[in-house]
Amino acid sequence: MSSPTIATAVPADAPLSEAEVRSLREDFPILQTEVNGHPLVYLDSGATSQRPLAVLDAEREFLTTLNSAVHRGAHTIAAEATEVFEDARAAVARFVGADDDQLVWTSNATEAINLVAYAFSNATAGRGGAAAERFRLGDGDEIVTTEMEHHANLIPWQELAARTGATLRVIPLDDDGALRPGDIETHITDRTKIVAVTHVSNVLGVVNPVEQLIAAARRVGALVLLDACQSAPHLPLDVKKLDVDFAVLSGHKMLGPTGIGALYGRRELLAAMPPFLTGGSMITTVTTTRAEYLPPPQRFEAGTQRVSQAVALAAAVRYLEDVGMPRIAAHEAQLGRRLVDGLSAIDGVRVLGAGIDLPRVGLASFDIPGIHSHDVGQFLDDRGIAVRVGHHCAQPLHRRLGVTSSTRASTYLYSTDAEVDAFLDGVAATIDFFLGGVAAGTDFPGVRS
């Protein structure tokens, strides 16, 4: 597997150069393709990123040389596969600043959040004994999240509140979509048991003031879960320095495969949590009436694991480390500002969260009154430009901002200024087509009758 070609004699936090990005793009075969007769402009990395050859090759090499059941077989390739599998865990843990026994493999970030929520639920039902006392909820206890969360970091807490009798409190947003310091302080109280918040909004692209949320939680003894799905791929992340109790990430958003994510948890918390999924591979002793469980992380990894996916995700984080996360963050900050400034300069476009004065990643969502987001997306797709349309699994945030859906463009380390400019030209052309008095008889497949 080859490493990306990146200059070394530059500052560690310097944005990627145009030449470096062009070189990186050679590692991504899909970026060399055409869509509808146009070069592909892929601006949907916030949903699913593309995979470099190093990641594709790593998974294929494992499958063609070591494919076997880990932690079970006594034969040679099973032992070697187990070693590679655990090396992958250590690599991903290091990438987020954790120890390898603090990282639990999951199918995705959604499962990781549900794992934590169900541990609270199982503890409330009496599982886990005295060690799980801090996870038990009841009347008067509160779970706190925000109005901007992805549904994956909202619905599990709604369900947990319904099962336990706890109250779910949602920190509101201001008119721009930002969290207000006063609302953070008033919503996190001595009744709060857990605060679950996104690090980077998947709609607004802003990096939230999580340090303030964490500090407020610490003052009242509450636990903190960080949704790092949109930060781990794009920013340097150290979960220990942030002082969070749990963090979740998703492989397919960070150059890795689908079907794998991870949960970081403090060692003492994972050791005290009742398991979520039960069955084989997570036990020590089983009788017909009871079972004893392995220590974490294995106690949360029931059944056959996602072995080749873990190997591929480890290759993805090594690729990102070779490029340099500070450099990726600087590159995307430039692209994010180019997106917001460019969209804001187009008459008729409303950029969601444009007025929020916070750092941002390379992501922007917008609304064009009078044009449905699906029509915008179809018009851009006709030009080979791939974007996301809809509510992006964040209906409460869209409702707060007064829109039912939006169009989202999201970049990554392989995105270029030229692609952003092609997208901006496409948005302007969309407005001209739908609202600018297009000649009668002009036909476009995206127009709804």
Residues with catalytic roles? 393
Q: At what angle do helices 373-382 and 417-435 cross, to 10 degrees?
A: 120
Q: CA 203, CA 399: separation in Å to the nearest integer?
A: 12
Spatial contact of 425 and 338, defined as CB atoms under 8 Å apart: no
3-state secondary structure 247-293: EEEEHHHCCCCCCCEEEEECHHHHHHCCCCCCCCCCEEEECCCCEEE
* 210 CA to centre of own chain: 15
Nearest alpha carbon to residue 200 among 159, 247, 243: 247
* Residue 216 to residues 82, 100, 198, 211, 358, Cα–Cα distance (Å): 41, 28, 15, 9, 19
For 406, how many CA atoms within 13 A lie in the half-sphere containing its CB?
Answer: 29
* 3-class DSSP state of 168: strand
Spatial contact of 233 and 200, defined as CB atoms under 8 Å apart: no
Spatial contact of 362 and 413, defined as CB atoms under 8 Å apart: no
Residue identified by tokens 């948005």 is 427
Q: Tabulate helix, strand, coil % of the chain (nearest 5).
A: 40, 15, 40
Nearest alpha carbon to residue 67 among 87, 91, 88, 84: 84
In the beta sheet, which residues pair with residue 226? 197, 247
C-beta neighbour count of 309 within 10 angstroms: 22
Fill in the amino acid letter for 128: G
Burial annotation 248-270 (CB, 10 A radius, 16+ → b, else e): bbbbbbbbbbebbbbbbbbeebb
Nearest alpha carbon to residue 62 among 83, 47, 41: 83
Q: CA 86, CA 311: separation in Å to the nearest integer?
A: 9
Q: CA 442, CA 430: separation in Å to the nearest integer?
A: 13
Nearest alpha carbon to residue 233 among 220, 250, 213, 219: 250
Kindly report the length of the chain: 449
